[in-house]
Structure 1
Amino acid sequence: MSVLTGWRAAVRIARRDALRAKGRSALVVAMIALPVLGVTAADVTYRSYTPTTAETLTAGMGSADAVFRSAGIGAVPVEQTPDNTLWGTPPDGPASPGDSAPEPVDMRTVLPKGARYLTEQPVPAEVTTRHGVANTEIVELRTSDPAVRGKVDLVKGSHPAAGNEVVATERFLESTGLRVGSRTTVRGPGLTYTITGSVELPSDLGRKALYAVPGTVIAPWKAAAGRDKTIAPPNADDLTWLVEGPAGAGIRWADVLAANRRGVLVLSRQVALDPPPNSEVPYLTHGGTTYSGGSEELSTALVTVVAMAVLEIVLLAGPAFAVGARRSRRQLGLVGANGGDRSQVRAVVLAGGAVLGSVGAVAGTAAGLGLTVLFRPLIEGWTGSRFGALEIRPWELLAVAAIGLVTGILSALAPAIVAGRQSVLESLTGRRGTRRNSRVLPLAGCVALAAGVAVAVFGGTTGDTSLVAGGSVVAELGVLACIPVVVGSLGRLGARLPLSPRMALRDASRNRGRTAPAVAAVMAAVAGTVAVATYTSSVMAEHAYDHMPALTPGTAALVAADPSFVDQLPRARAAAEQNLATSGGRADIGRVWAGSDCGVYYEEENGCGTLTLVKPTGKGHNCPLQGKGARKLAEGLSAEAHKELMRTPACTDQYVTAAALHMSESNIVVGDAALLATYVKLDDPAATEALAAGTPVLLNPAYAKNGHVTLKAVHTYNPRDKENRKLHPGEARTTTDRLKVYVAPAKYAATPGIRMILPRSAVEELGLHTEDYGSVFPVAHTPTDAEQQAVSAAITQAGDGVHLQTENGPESRDEDLILLVLALFAGVVTLGAAAITTGLAKADAEADLTTLGAVGAPPGVRRSLSGFQCVVVALTGVLLGAVAGIVPAVALRLVDLREAMASMRKEPMDSAYTPIVMPWETIGLLALVVPVLAGLLAAAFAGSRSALARRAG
């Protein structure tokens, strides 16, 4: 009973002290509540966003009972898993038809008797938009049927009822500039439809599609293609059946097996939710396997995040409790003077942690739930799918709240121990006593730092990620142990500084028990941010290096799809110049060939000529990473040496063919000086003069020998090529010409799609044939959807025989967003830690500030001192965090390097480039902008005057 009574008194004292110091209490509550808020919001969002099996089935089949789909091999029996993720043919069953077209399955004979069905069939199409023409998908599905609810939901307007009506997804309307009531025409058959409503797919909010009544798009399109051979028939083969079982019985496992015997795959809601035992699944009894996904990585990540959050709170809130205990030391001394022992003194401080931790946990949990509900539409738009029901798991939220409570108690633990050790005399007189710094802790920190770095680097070179993680943690703990010494040495840096920064440095050094934890909190947050940012920046640089561009960056191209469409180029060029953000003149290019045109289809073999640039043999001409001895050479190369070798013209040459301008294996184009300036970006008067004089410009020096190239042409003429045949009678002949060329510098060998530029005069002199092929344009930015749709409309009107090609750069992987989020997170923690420390310093040093005012210090000293105190904490933590964060990033890149080197030695042409790129933008933001912002905010909110204090006695 006495224990309970003692704790009741301690809680009562703590509650009164919290109400008396409302500012400091609110600060601690906010620190505890913010992580609880974040974890609560993340938990509810994750549980609500992650679909259950039932929600996944609804997204795929609406409220129907099953989806039936032909396996595509005719009526050959198949076997499948209950969830239809894997399937195959029985080992003892009949063989599939192979390459021959299978006989279609009559699905109506497969469905259970009495079942009701809907069909769904998509078809790719070109449709008119407000801006021009866009490629999209039209799906024949009766969206008004109740069985579709949950798969396709109406947002605005009405479902299509007539044959000339469709509904569109909201993303389609957004990208095309259309709206409900607009009309759109399917190019080809010329079918026009009215958009009667907008719909969304809850599981795929970003989809661009139109939905029409079955039989109103594909069948009329096929009929139009049958009447007019210039209309391409629709490419619609993916037919699925949404089935409702007879009399509400659903689709059972026996129905699935019956459909499997007819070559049909089935996803049944009833079977997926209540699967049969493995012994009743033929696919599994015949040796098939299922995928098993573990959540060990997710659980580890979750535990790590929670542990880091707890660490941050303890590091930040601990000094607040310490300052609170010092400001209440007279009250604690009175507890001891009236018979309270040390355990009761500690209980008072710990009770403060429990009280504020409880308030913070409750407030954070409630705020997390409220913000999740409030920002649910934004979260759904960002993730691209709708939540199911907002799933709240009370036991998980209770555990999160308990973590907040425990964190508050842990934050008060160290101050409680210190308060319990103080004598009653020290507490009543306000003396702090003499404290000595530990000499063992920094020494142990240096040893841990060195050992951690060594272990992490060793793990990186051996490919052991567990050693990398362990070593990185040990290294960071070593830096944490050294922080008190670093903070203690700050006072020596201000000897020659003005008053405010000198006092800020000395205050941080003198009160390292308050400053060091805040610096450690900033360091921990910044270290994680810098580690991830460094690794992400390095991976981005690797992706950029490995990216093979289709065009030279900053250009767009128009190319004719077939020689018969060359007459459409003038109109397409005018459309491109009118609608694209071109930033200069265009360059026209032509294709060149020998004999009959290889771009024309001939049924006869060897019905056209060939034109080849003959590469010389020997060093500098053949890539040593290809052919005999390549693997042996690769085994002795470093990553940097391999990179340099890969960038030589002889090895770069293989990538030139993977381009939008690829016209033939020779990659020879006909062009003039405009092509050099617009596309090749070769600014050399000598090259321009060479083209004007009829001399070809060779972009790849590996094909040149003594300034000449060998051009081999086989002049073969097809009998049906009457025009060229009349000009060149006789048998096929082969010519080999040695041409003097202008050899461009080696860096131009990687120009996408072009190996050599021939002037028209040289083509005529060699007896070759040439024809217009397309144009390239310099553009100020990658064409937008509206710009591409406008150009596509003009191309379609001209005959749809020209393609617009653009270069979008490396594939977007959201790395920029990740870096921004990390920088913002670390910035918020840094600002918070600096603000907390400044507030505590202001409360802790009120007597010193009052003395300064009494001896005549200007009023602005308080503001400038608060600002510099904030800068000291923020800048010190950021710099230490940046150093600590580099260790795991470098170690992980060493792991990647090891894997890349192993791959390169197996396949010598695989890239081994594994750069380590520092995220200077993120580090600069944290090291410069955030500390300055923290200092300015602290100075702005600090009062310039202090109230006069009455002297005791």
Structure 2
Amino acid sequence: MSAFRAALRISRRDALRFKGRTALIMVMIGLPVLVITAALTSIATTQLTPQEKVPSLLGSADARLITLPFRTPVKQNYTGEAHEQRQARRSDRAWTPAEINTLLPGRLLRYQSSVVEARLADGYDRVDVLEVDLRDPLTNGMRHLVEGRLPAAPGEVAVSPEMIDRGVRIGGTVQVWRPDRAVRVVGVVQHPNRPGLREMVALPEGLLQHQNDGNSSGWLADTSGPVQRADIRRLNQAGLAVSSRAVIENPTQAELRRKSFDPEGPVRGLVSLGIAVVLIVMETALLAGPSFAVGLRRRRRELAVIAAQGASGPHLRTIVLADGLVLGGAAVLLGAAFGIGAGVLVESVSARTLDWTHGPVDVPWLQVAGVALLGVVSGLTAALVPAVQGSRQSPVHVLAGRAAVDTHGRTGRPLLGSALVALGIGGSFVAVRHGVLSVAASAAILVLGLVALMPWLVRSTGLLAARLPLPLRLSVRDGSRHRVRTASAAAAVMAATMAAVTVGIGLSSSYAQREEMRATVVPAGTVTIGRYDVDDQQWSTIRTAVTQALPGVELVPGQTAMNQHESTNLRVTWDPQACGKKRCAPPDAHSMPLPIGDERLLALLQGRHDPQAAAALKAGKAVVFDAELVRDGTLELVAESSDLNGATRNKKFKVPAVVSRAAEPAQTGALLPASAATAAGFTVAERLLYASYVPDDEERLDRDLSVVGGGVFVSVEKRFDDFLPTVLLMLLGAALVLVLGGTFAATGLAAADMRQDLDTMSAVGGAPVVRRLVVAAQAAYISGLGALTGLAGGLVSGVALTWPMTRTGYREPGAAFFDPGPTTIDIPWWFLAGIVVGLPLLAALVAGAFTRTRLVLARRVA
């Protein structure tokens, strides 16, 4: 113990002496701890228990009774928030307080909730509405009065702080729709668990109409005693769901366990946790490893003196490992402390701005302790190899001033690394028949194998240095001599690159598969606006509103078939056996309403003017965009309509058709001329508008038009892979941080180690630009070697990941072992080029630009 205490004192003194290296190591170890602790704290604070929800749900009431559409028995969980019942004929009469009191005696306070469209400063928006008398003591805790007063009369509302942020003011009015009326704002109230909620609170039926049973309504109940489980069962049998304070606050173990249980869930969770622990410790250790390696070189004389005074190899190993313990422990303490504070701050801000759920500050101490332990283990792991090296160095060579280089060791026989790489590749081959977790496990084994192979790769590339230009030759030879430092940094870059490549290929393939399956009538980048069940006058009002909402946008009219003033859904009848395309697989691929229009709509659907197709359309023929839908020159259609009672009627008919090419391959269906619909006995009327335009705010346009004509729909056709570049750029940014961080740390340390060589080169006439090129070449060598190795591993794991992410079917029982089923593989070459070429080039440019070129004269030793 005395030797261990001495090692800790030496490590503390060394950490204070070299503050820059100490700060670098602490950031590399403490930053992951900070991020993970902040995330755990935010999640724990955001996730509310049923007990924490009781005040906002019940106020001070003993129970909350929830009316449902039918009078059939109810099945519910112990909180009453999840419930279901068998459908039956609706009751002719609604629940009354007197009827409720026969089942549960007590004082009742009615409540109801809904959603309305409210006109705010920037247009209409959806706003939650709660109608309950907040002046009643039974509602204490449901909402907190922030400013003003509570509603006391019909037409008065209190609003949430989010609506105040949107321009609503106390004393002003808010125009709402559904119902169409204006209400006066008298106060500001806040939800205790949702500070960002957009909400208005009014008296019952002070804003909304009376809501029948099953429309988010019920009663708060103040009873003479707790509402027990027997009371809940009796009310459930009558058709009411119940949230009881006594039951929620005192659940039984059986009630807590009564959830859908996945028997493989705990196993998957443990495997996922194990993979995450291994990868996090490995990446952190690899990033911090070069700093410990250079620290060893700076302290090798000190360690040699201690060894000359009688210290054994284990003593020296303990001193270096104490660096990992001291620096890792300090980094963990600071990271955990700042992580808890950051988590609380992020959660409080996010709950207000993003409408997250919010509860009391909750720190999951056990998980935070696990993360802290993980950080300490990472520090010890990063110091392990330098510790072994320090215990094996020769005191005589060090005290004589001879340069220290890494010994060959076992790099010439990379048996362990080769075995792990082979196991990882074989595991990937098997994992494609299973899930994402299996692929991740095989990828983790492959990463460990490549890490073990990295010293051999560094040594092997060093043998090629003689053929390289001078800057690269010096850098590669230096990296090969100091193999541990170089291999650790290159392995960190490799792990980050492999992870980015694997995920990038998986995501790109998933987006490509979804895009391949996309079936549409209109081309991507087209907005469709319409409503079917309106008359000509109402449609004229809607069309005017659309024109005003989209000024300068060319609108193309579309028509719909009508049967006795009912809109009719015209869909194509197709034979699934005859359709060999993947996008024909969904049953509703051709169930979309077919557009009816003229040459203007045809030009929009085709993205060009096609004279032959336009002439056929004018002649009364349908223009079909999928040749497999046409049989003997005709297109078979089904006209599906429904009456007021919901009964569906189908009418089949055929129209002559020609096949033409649409604007994009995903388009299917056909364009019908109005004459074809009228010839089949239907009337046509304009009820649709199309435009080659993507609104900046689709949801806002939808809300604004819905106020003009309730039921107006706004649909924008988009490619599934439109967001892929953004996702890949975010992934590239994450890789950029890890790759450049590890590269610059190792390059800076290598430049410090090479200072004598660089000064000698300058002294014999080397230009400053050569010095810059040497350091830039060092960065390019480290990041390039890691990126190329990570690319090789990432291609294997990424291709394997495409099967569980995009598999569209399963193997037949008699299929070959090597046939895992159909999949989609899409390689994002520009993304891979950015990682493998762009990041090393950027690292080299930045390292060379910030290199010090001033010659530092060394003092002559007599």
TM-score calculated relative to the size of structure 2: 0.85
* 2:603–2:610 CA contact under 8 A, matched in 1: no
* 2:524–2:719 CA contact under 8 A, matched in 1: no
Structure 1 position 656 matched with structure 2 position 622: no
What is the alpha-carbon distance in structure 2 between the residues aligned to residue 334 and residue 189 of structure 1?
87
Per the alignment, do residues 144 and 315 of structure 1 end up closer, same or farther by CA in structure 2, a change over 3 Å counting?
farther
What letter matches 1:193 in structure 2?
Answer: V
What is the alpha-carbon distance in structure 2 between the residues aligned to residue 197 and residue 881 of structure 1?
59
What is the alpha-carbon distance in structure 1 between the residues aligned to residue 620 and residue 153 of structure 2?
64
Q: Gapped runs of 5+ residues in structure 2?
A: 641-650, 815-820
Tell me the secondary structure at the aligned position of residue 624 of structure 1.
Answer: helix
Structure 1 residue 38, shift from structure 2 partner: 2.3
User: Over aligned residues, Cα RMSD in angstroms?
Assistant: 4.2
What is the alpha-carbon distance in structure 1 between the residues aligned to residue 228 and residue 419 of structure 2?
66
What is the alpha-carbon distance in structure 1 between the residues aligned to residue 77 and residue 179 of structure 2?
41
- Given candidates 598, 606, 619, the residue that maps to 1:672 is 598
Structure 1 position 757 matched with structure 2 position 672: yes
What is the alpha-carbon distance in structure 2 between the residues aligned to residue 672 and residue 758 of structure 1?
6
- Given candidates 41, 46, 59, the residue that maps to 1:44 is 41
What letter matches 1:656 in structure 2?
Answer: H
* 1:749–1:755 CA contact under 8 A, matched in 2: no
Who is 1:900 aligned against? 809
Deviation string, structure 1 residues 797-848 (Cα, Å, up to 9, x no partner): xxx5x72432264789998886555443332221221121012102211211
Per the alignment, do residues 198 and 755 of structure 1 end up closer, same or farther by CA in structure 2, a change over 3 Å counting?
farther
Who is 2:27 aligned against? 30
Tell me the secondary structure at the aligned position of residue 339 of structure 2.
Answer: helix
Tell me the secondary structure at the aligned position of residue 210 of structure 1.
Answer: strand
Structure 1 residue 266, shift from structure 2 partner: 1.5
Aligned length: 842
Structure 1 residue 323, shift from structure 2 partner: 2.0
* 2:525–2:693 CA contact under 8 A, matched in 1: yes
Who is 1:274 aligned against? 250
* 1:121–1:236 CA contact under 8 A, matched in 2: no
Deviation string, structure 1 residues 351-379 (Cα, Å, up to 9, x no partner): 33332223222222222233224433344
Per the alignment, do residues 119 and 445 of structure 1 end up closer, same or farther by CA in structure 2, a change over 3 Å counting?
same
Per the alignment, do residues 949 and 656 of structure 1 end up closer, same or farther by CA in structure 2, a change over 3 Å counting?
same
Structure 1 residue 23, shift from structure 2 partner: 1.9
Structure 1 position 599 matched with structure 2 position 565: yes
- Given candidates 574, 577, 581, the residue that maps to 1:645 is 581
Who is 1:826 aligned against? 735
Who is 2:287 aligned against? 316
Structure 1 position 772 matched with structure 2 position 725: no
Structure 1 residue 903, shift from structure 2 partner: 10
Who is 1:624 aligned against? 577
- Given candidates 264, 268, 274, the residue that maps to 2:240 is 264
Structure 1 residue 647, shift from structure 2 partner: 5.0
Structure 1 position 101 matched with structure 2 position 97: no
Per the alignment, do residues 858 and 791 of structure 1 end up closer, same or farther by CA in structure 2, a change over 3 Å counting?
same
Structure 1 residue 523, shift from structure 2 partner: 1.5
Who is 2:216 aligned against? 238
Structure 1 position 195 matched with structure 2 position 213: no
Deviation string, structure 1 residues 312-368 (Cα, Å, up to 9, x no partner): 232232332222222222222211222223232223222333322232222222222
Structure 1 residue 518, shift from structure 2 partner: 0.9
Per the alignment, do residues 517 and 84 of structure 1 end up closer, same or farther by CA in structure 2, a change over 3 Å counting?
same
Q: Gapped runs of 5+ residues in structure 1?
A: 90-95, 223-232, 602-609, 616-620, 626-641, 715-733, 906-911
Who is 2:14 aligned against? 17
Deviation string, structure 1 residues 538-570 (Cα, Å, up to 9, x no partner): 2233333444557543223343433x5123333
Identity of aligned residues (%): 30
* 2:511–2:720 CA contact under 8 A, matched in 1: no
* 1:138–1:211 CA contact under 8 A, matched in 2: yes
What is the alpha-carbon distance in structure 1 between the residues aligned to residue 721 and residue 149 of structure 2?
36
Structure 1 residue 412, shift from structure 2 partner: 2.2
Structure 1 position 251 matched with structure 2 position 227: yes
Structure whose CA Rg is larger: 1
Matches within 5 A, 1:203-214: 203=193, 208-214=198-204
Structure 1 position 568 matched with structure 2 position 502: no
What is the alpha-carbon distance in structure 1 between the residues aligned to residue 736 and residue 400 of structure 2?
40
* 1:519–1:877 CA contact under 8 A, matched in 2: yes
Per the alignment, do residues 809 and 10 of structure 1 end up closer, same or farther by CA in structure 2, a change over 3 Å counting?
same
Structure 1 stretch displaced more, 301-310 or 312-321 = 301-310
Who is 1:138 aligned against? 129
Per the alignment, do residues 36 and 468 of structure 1 end up closer, same or farther by CA in structure 2, a change over 3 Å counting?
closer
Structure 1 residue 528, shift from structure 2 partner: 2.4
- Given candidates 638, 661, 681, the residue that maps to 1:745 is 661
Structure 1 stretch displaced more, 847-856 or 250-259 = 250-259
What letter matches 2:431 in structure 1?
Answer: G
What is the alpha-carbon distance in structure 2 between the residues aligned to residue 700 and residue 268 of structure 1?
58
Per the alignment, do residues 470 and 777 of structure 1 end up closer, same or farther by CA in structure 2, a change over 3 Å counting?
closer
What is the alpha-carbon distance in structure 2 between the residues aligned to residue 333 and residue 690 of structure 1?
93
Structure 1 position 215 matched with structure 2 position 215: no
Who is 1:868 aligned against? 777
Tell me the secondary structure at the aligned position of residue 266 of structure 1.
Answer: strand
What is the alpha-carbon distance in structure 2 between the residues aligned to residue 186 and residue 208 of structure 1?
14
Per the alignment, do residues 837 and 784 of structure 1 end up closer, same or farther by CA in structure 2, a change over 3 Å counting?
same
What is the alpha-carbon distance in structure 2 between the residues aligned to residue 459 and residue 711 of structure 1?
45
Who is 1:230 aligned against? none
* 2:160–2:199 CA contact under 8 A, matched in 1: yes
What is the alpha-carbon distance in structure 2 between the residues aligned to residue 940 and residue 812 of structure 1?
38
Who is 2:645 aligned against? none
Deviation string, structure 1 residues 367-426 (Cα, Å, up to 9, x no partner): 223322443334435764243222235555444434433433332222222222223212
Who is 2:648 aligned against? none
Tell me the secondary structure at the aligned position of residue 655 of structure 1.
Answer: coil
Tell me the secondary structure at the aligned position of residue 328 of structure 1.
Answer: helix
Tell me the secondary structure at the aligned position of residue 826 of structure 2.
Answer: coil
- Given candidates 546, 552, 555, the residue that maps to 1:586 is 555
Per the alignment, do residues 506 and 457 of structure 1 end up closer, same or farther by CA in structure 2, a change over 3 Å counting?
same
Tell me the secondary structure at the aligned position of residue 901 of structure 1.
Answer: coil
What letter matches 1:542 in structure 2?
Answer: Q
What letter matches 1:139 in structure 2?
Answer: L
Structure 1 residue 674, shift from structure 2 partner: 0.6
Deviation string, structure 1 residues 611-634 (Cα, Å, up to 9, x no partner): 99997xxxxx74316xxxxxxxxx
What is the alpha-carbon distance in structure 1 between the residues aligned to residue 850 and residue 50 of structure 2?
53
Structure 1 stretch displaced more, 347-356 or 152-161 = 152-161
* 2:63–2:220 CA contact under 8 A, matched in 1: yes
Who is 2:303 aligned against? 332
Structure 1 residue 202, shift from structure 2 partner: 5.3
Per the alignment, do residues 71 and 855 of structure 1 end up closer, same or farther by CA in structure 2, a change over 3 Å counting?
same
Structure 1 stretch displaced more, 449-458 or 544-553 = 544-553
Structure 1 residue 34, shift from structure 2 partner: 1.6
Deviation string, structure 1 residues 44-100 (Cα, Å, up to 9, x no partner): 2232222233224345334544321135432x65565533366678xxxxxx78335
TM-score calculated relative to the size of structure 1: 0.78
Who is 2:328 aligned against? 357
Who is 1:544 aligned against? 515
Structure 1 position 435 matched with structure 2 position 407: yes
Structure 1 stretch displaced more, 543-552 or 521-530 = 543-552
Structure 1 residue 466, shift from structure 2 partner: 6.5
Tell me the secondary structure at the aligned position of residue 853 of structure 2.
Answer: coil
Per the alignment, do residues 842 and 117 of structure 1 end up closer, same or farther by CA in structure 2, a change over 3 Å counting?
farther
* 2:622–2:658 CA contact under 8 A, matched in 1: yes
- Given candidates 490, 496, 501, the residue that maps to 2:472 is 501
* 1:861–1:944 CA contact under 8 A, matched in 2: no
Tell me the secondary structure at the aligned position of residue 435 of structure 1.
Answer: coil
What is the alpha-carbon distance in structure 2 between the residues aligned to residue 489 and residue 259 of structure 1?
78
